[in-house]
Amino acid sequence: MEALAWLEGTWPAEFVRQTPWVYASLEIVHLLGLALLVGPAALFDLRLLGAGRRAISVSAAARRLLPVARAGFAAAAVSGAAMFAAGAREIAGAGAAPVKLALLGVAGVNVALFHLGVYRRVGAWDGDLRPPVAARVAGGVSLGAWAGVVAAGRLIAYT
């Protein structure tokens, strides 16, 4: 708890708490970032699960969707970190916060395993009607993890 108290005492955290409209503005940026992250990521995950297989290749979907998802992640991560710093002890004590953080970890590990694993060989299977099992599993895990992150994030205010 000392680290959380220290975090709340930093000048950025105090700025967020004490300056009118900053926290609300961060919430807006966070929600827009989530939309830019989760929307394209979900479309990509659905493609990995086989949706749209005749319309677009996995590599083409990645080129079009993942840069938007990365930008959304950056916006959500920066705004989320700033909001967390402003009320670290209260948020960390919320029942849904550990769930959200755990699901963020699952999503991050899933992304890393996918990109360092099966996606490295996308050229070998991109034209197949069904992506490999590992790609489909990654898509399913991603859909579930991001849905859970969004749900747990909303529940933080109520737990």
* Tens digit of each residue's pLDDT (9 = 90 or more) over 9-34: 999 999 999 999 999 999 999 999 99
Distance in angstroms (rounded) separating the CA atoms of residues 3 and 15: 18
Instruction: Give pLDDT tens digits for 60-91.
Output: 999 999 999 999 999 999 999 999 999 999 99
Residues constituting the chain: 159
Burial string for 66-80 (b: 16+ CB within 10 Å, else e) reads bebbeebbebbeebb
Half-sphere exposure of 64 (CA within 13 A, CB side): 11
pLDDT for 50 equals 95
